[in-house]
Structure 1
Amino acid sequence: MTTVPRYRRASVEDPMFAKLLCAKIDVRRISETILSELQVTQIPAGFSSDSNLRRVECKKVKCSWYKPSRTTWLNFGNEEIAKRVFNKFNSNSYRILDQTAHCNQPTRSGGLRNPYAWTLMLTDLSIAVTENDIRSAIRAPHDSPRNIELGKPTYNVDGELASATVMSFLSRVGPIEWSQANTELEGKRAKAIARFYEEADAREAVASLHNVPLPFGKNMKLSAQLISTAKFKVATTIFSAVQTRIRTASQGWTRNHLSFKVYPCAFGFQYRVLKIEGPVAKDVAAAKETMDEILDGIIVMSHNEPCWSPSLSHNGIMLQKLKKIQRDYGVVIIRNRRKVELRLYGSPEKCVGVELAIADMVSIESSTDHIINLNPEDFQWVCNSGFPLRIVRKRELNSETETTTEKEDCVECWTQAENPNFTRCGHVYCIDCFEGLCTAAGSGEKDFSISCVGDKGQCQVVFSLEELQENVSSKAFEDILEASFASHVQRHPQTFRYCPKPGCDMIYRTSSTMKLNTCAKCFTMTCTSCHAGHEGKTCAEYKDEISGGYEALRKLKMELGIKDCPKCTTPLEKTEGCNHMMCRGCRAHLCWVCMEVFAESGPCYDHMTTKHGGIGLEHLNHI
């Protein structure tokens, strides 16, 4: 009978608590039978697909190692043929299995009677290469070698098992969201990529696994590299309008060893996903700033102010004229009624002409509407007053009309609701008015909430999270969650902090112990305990350094002749004897003159004699 595993999910607020809980359960599984089959994995809360706009992360680790290879020797009867074949391999005229083969200079390999007097050595060949493959690559009959000798493979583990070994190293560090390995790609190195749930685990994997010896190859080491990623989700129409600018910018990113890819969004053809990746976080951050600037578009300005007309708030003649300008110039114009602004997407040259055309259109537009813009305080005064209210709607003229109209009118703008939203408390909003009400909600000392303004501001029913999600777009819902969280952060400074870089609004969770956090927006690294940037140092070391203690200690060490072990940083002092020292901390053997590290004393003495002319006791020869 097969037992079907059962799963349960528990949510906690603090990720550090979740990690500690998982560690403790793993320890108890060994000693307690009742927990022996229990497996606990920490999985951070995921984001919906709509929340991946302009996402930046440092959770991906790229590993590589040499594929198994072999050396092959080609023997020729004379030097002329050997040199000719050598030149053809180096010029890529001869390729083995359609891949470049590295060929060493021809060498004389025997005496005058040796029929195979000259030898070429081909290195790093695939273990799949056979003698027939080599003879097929040397196409000219007069270049054919007299003898071919295939060397042994550097190791005999197949690619699948090697990849599994590397993946097991990575999985020991922390939970992995996804991974992939490929040993069949062209090149000398096999590659594997893993994306961790936590950035801290990705950094730990790189720190602990880079240059670690691999068990399946002699002197084989693993290369591990942290990859920074910036991801953008953009409307297909906007991408089409600015892709020329993006392609131009991407040429500079390629020179900085950054990769740039564009692919369709998995959740609809209306969007494209753009991804920038690279090993240097600062280069990715700089590329992201460039991309942000392109995707933000250009705000249409007139007389140093955003160009706007009240008529653009409605789907009338002005909107039709705006769409005609968009078609005539081949650009994209985005209308934001909440922010009362227009944004342009296209080449800078076209955008200049569009700005002038829109400014002319707005300046000559004569509207019969007379609109008074009110701030929230004035609006509430209007709602609760008699005379101003009669001017706005003149509802006192016909009580029957008032009853009928109020059921159809938006309680926010007091006009007939456009694409109406009906709330659970029985009021009606335009879809844009409702989103504007939600996203404009401020934060204060009390818990964040969004209340209905129906019944002339007297309703005050607080909308639930489910109702908000039902009645607003995904982007507006993100803005609401962000504003709610900002309110929570302001009221809980002991738990959350803002990134210390000026102008950056990203947030990180504080901790009682040292943990380095990389800002997802600007890549600034900050300690979550002391809130300073001190990569490679503990909090105490950093505080000591900025207070002057570190410099004073360094000067004192120089005066006393104290040096730190290069391997474990244990302070060492030489009082007498030769220049061979052994660290009492890590037991490494050291040359006191240049501080080079050795595993044994013998090589250290050889080094001192060869490099420094003695072991440091030469002055005793004159006694």
Structure 2
Amino acid sequence: MKINELIFYQSIDAISLLCKQKALVKLNQLSSMLCKICHNMITKDDYQQNKILKLNCSCNFYCHSSCLKDQIIHKKAEFENIQKVEQLLNADIQCDQGCKTNLVGIQMIRQVLSHKEIQMYQFEYLEAQKLKRMEERQIKELQNQKQEILFVCSICFEELDLNQNGIILKCGCQFCRDCLKGNILNSLKENINFELENIFCPNGECKKVLDFDNIVFILQDDKQTLEKLEQKNIKSMFQKMKRENPDSLEELIICPGKYKVQKENGSIIYIPKDQIEKQRQGTAQIPIQENEVIVDCNFTFIQDRTEQKIIHKCSKCKYEFCLNNCDSTHDGYSCSSYQQWKIENTQDYRKDLEAQGFKFCPNCQIITQRTSGCNRIICTNCKISYCYLCYFQDKDQNVVYAHLNKVHGGYFGNA
């Protein structure tokens, strides 16, 4: 039977179109197995351990919960409210299949951030906006007056123009910016722990603790120092929250990772995890170029223990570690086994950590650190109660409380 030539070619075109549509469906299925943010494969374990979130899209896209949290943290400077963060995230995370739906919703943000974290980021944003408005108001007032405002700096005693080189602190004292910056940096040199409570107004008759916003304004060009102070401010905020809510399951985490910095431009170079671990064990040194320097990350953040998250990847240095005060992921080993291995195989490991304020559970040897509060510790691993000052332990927490009263004169204080 002969087939009309036109019908034959129309049939070939139809078959070709169906093949393309089938291929597109397969491609969509494959793409749905990748995280929409980091583009890494979503594994079976990710599904089983509830480490993923389904995006609000008919194209069947997913992302890792940790990736979405990292994206939010990068936007924390703009955390006016959850609605604003939702808008910013959806501007960055978009469907490439033509779907115009917002992929990230408010409920998803609440899933990856604790209530306290949301409060903290909103507080930081509002404080930054207050400082910005105050500076804008000062500038506007000076511009409206259109005249030179002279003042005498209380440090160098020079008469200067407040508009050009002066600052009025929240305590009301006036200084030239250069003198105040030098005074703050000198205070920090003598204050190796960067305690914000030890940075005072240079006016001998005032001596009030400098407002953190004033410090940020003066040191805005010194990014390295400013970053350390901001991390310290997070610790202070955390301690305040713990005093107000001592039963909170939130914990302060300090990243044990490292990274390299190029001396010329200050750019960050990430260090592979195995190189960091080999250096800690004393088996090899991290390779470094002449124009590079190795820096301890020490990125500080607050972790909500109700999330039952164990492994964390630092958003700053990309180092992955265990949240139970372990400096590695110790794959295949429990936290207590890994800590015991470190004690036996790493030179001066225990001594170095105890010098930094860490203590070892007397029962299972897991590392703990008390940032504030009572000296009666409950181990997160074996659940035993013990004294943070002398390692006295008992299964009954009331026995430990009685020990603290009798031997150390109370529940609080340092060794």
TM norm structure 1: 0.24
Higher helix share: 2
TM norm structure 2: 0.33
* Structure index of larger Rg: 1
Higher relative contact order (CA 8 A, sep 6+): 1
